[in-house]
Structure 1
């Protein structure tokens, strides 16, 4: 008998049948990830430290983000507060500068009126007007860069002291009657233009603040009064001399239009001022007179000079500009209140931001401590859970191993998932039966324990050998051994060759087997196989079994029962299937009377062509046997029986 093994069936660890696959094989962690999983497992020492750090970092991230956000907001609040302080400083400077411009405008009107009347009539004392302007200059904390034209077309940059000297020098010339109206206008207009330009630049730097509208209205109102003052000089000239020549008339019209446009712009920037201005004009008794005289000047009809009318016009314009300056004063109060409110809000926000930052810094350690205690509790629970999971995994492995020995893995898995497995039709499978010749006589002269030991050893041999083939062991009943191929996983036409090779292998192995309690006797088995359709399914809910039904099963059983010892009896259907595949030798037996089937033409399967029969000596799993190779449960039964 040939005893050489084939390479594809060397050891159970190297290869295994599809039918012996367990759920443990599917749930195994890939090799490359085992180390990483172990290191991050909170149940292990290294994983505990990693998990603790991770859980401490997670709450610290939002805390840190809150601290950074609060600090950022606080920084913005402080920047905004500083901007408001800068705006306050700029408003102060603009207010002081506006007072200087206002006094220069009044001084220009007084000086111009003095020159037009040739010093015969004064609206007020010039020395008092000069003192008021000097006081406004002294009250200025900062002085802008003033560049004024000089004789010869040059320009001179003047500081506060030099400007005061130039102003005093100009006043002396006026008192000596050396100045003309054009020179008066040129001097004061140039000075006011420089100061107003500086005021505009100051306001442009505050475009990020909400006060910019009020500052622009303040600047526009100041420029409106400036243009109105220039226009009034030409108006006094008209009434004092009876006619405006071309350039003077154009200058009056231009400055009068600019004054009105700038006034409307101021009222648009701060709508609140519209009502104030309306009340102001309604309260003025000579407001209608001013408009009437402006219309007369616009017509520029030649008339007799009238100093009295010039004085009335000058006084009415002065009264109107005084009211506009009151409006300007009201606007300064609005700007001051707005800036103070901004400062108050900024201070409150700064205090609130500091309070939030202090609270966050104080609460953070408490949160970290609470998280650390919670993590410690979770890790302790995880360690206990990991221990229980390992125990459950071992038990599951045992139960799956036992379950997959009773049922096909695919069927068992479906049964666990859906709790029902519908019967399935297989068009072509091969069914194998074998039994032990003379088993009844052997059992009659043997004890029950000896019979069980004998059957266990022979079935262990058979079970080990069929692992090398794509077959499924259906059941064993007494000495009957039933195997099928082509189900529950279909394998095409391979089922015929798989059963044929397996049958030859089992026959070869059985010839080397000796009955344990009757060493002198050799085992003889009788085998039979048939190919055909079957229906397979789960039968029963208690101790469910995977059973085969159909005439193919009965025919295979009849092939075994009508066969002979140490021979493999096959049907003509199986013989045709083997011939189609090729590689197997058969002998024609002839017609055989089969119970329930009548005469059937059958054959003997003798050997496999061009190859050696496989002989495998495989042992059962270690947890099923003791050191002598005997099942553990058999040893326990024997001990109980002896006692």
Structure 2
């Protein structure tokens, strides 16, 4: 030990700790308040102030969270309303689609003088009825024969059935067919348009407008196709019918372009659909023929071909419509999911705040009460604390390394320090549980006291630090608090062999016929060391190295030193020791580990002294120099520990 350190240890006055006099001012002497917060009315006022302090931000947080949750719930209701509108618009779109298909089939039936080669009207009527049943919100519909009062859903279904029964192939019924279906579809599309206007504040309105325009485009295409079938089936179009064809054909194209502009991603889909249609060019040519309106001979076959081509084209447009419907559904579903997630998070935050708030208030109350109680007792304990100061100083030097203890007393705190490489040793007594079970408590204490005095005396000969003992477990480390390079490996190895040899000759005091057996383990690696606790502080080690060393001990065998692969490699680098390969061992929390037995030093001679010398002290030898040159003298088992002599400066190494 350096001379300066000895001087520092001897100078007790220079090592100032927290004095009890600093906190022993008499009651009533406070600079910040006129009342004593530790007694009576002052204590209640102080407690109230400390409770109000956290209560204000907690209330603000609750109000803010509730307001945010209210907004989130309003947003979710809005999204649900949008979802309902989208569902209703989709159902109305399906009804419009079925009515368009039914109108085309009925018109073909009428314009071809009752030709039934194209489709089955009964099946078409059934599909239309099914789509009508799925509609939950029914718009006001005025039929040509009842303009005065709107029809409800049931009345409309009755009128629709009556209209289907009187369909004929007479010339006089063509206008009736067009007007009847067109008025129904117009009412449905107007209702759909009104619904879309209500969703202007949402991001889905573009998709809905494109959906509505696409429905109207298909509607106008279907109306125009009726006049086209009439042209090819009858040979020419009267002027009024010709004007209607031109109007609906132009409207259909304009609405289709509007839909593609509202949702640009549909342009690519539409281009693919038209490219895949083999008769798309034929449709355009026949449209040009109808626009010329040159009188020709009626041709039912050509009318059927034209009707089929237009039906194919509108079917492709409906594929585009279905694609857009899926896009709308995905968009609304994503919004609903986002709204539900935000609502769940808001509710969770509010519940957590409400649940934690009483706990915080309770903790603050307990903390303040504890502080007040401590303040009340602190003054009365001040003198007693001062008397115990010297005892605590003595205990501190017993529990901590000398350099750490000095630093702790000077700075009142010792920061944790990282050590890249240290060696940790564990040992325990084999069969200690059985020995304790058949022994009295006094016999157990006497037994442990003697063996630990033996171990404590022996480890004084090595550059190691005794960390702690828990029951029959003995923990030693080397390489800290003062780093010693790579010597910690050989120091622990020599010490372990020494303790094993000494324990082999130790007889249990109250069972003289039994010899002591210990199980040892060691591991080398990084650790973090620091002071733990303020009452009776302990210098503790943390890290996986400590756990691994403990596992080496617990998985070892009696009278053997179980070491890890890392410790073995470090020993090989230092040299001078022999090991024996044990193999893979299943270590709890680590899995299979390759481990070894530390057997002896090179040459097979352990570093031990006379087996009977169970107690000895290292003393200064002026004739020899070096860390490995040591002489020993025996001492009585009740003599003072060597570290206390070092503290007083009476012993040198």
- Structure possessing the higher radius of gyration over alpha carbons: 1
Larger relative contact order, structure 1 or 2 (CA cutoff 8 Å, min sep 6): 1
Compute the TM-score of the two structures, normalised by the length of structure 1: 0.48
Compute the TM-score of the two structures, normalised by the length of structure 2: 0.48
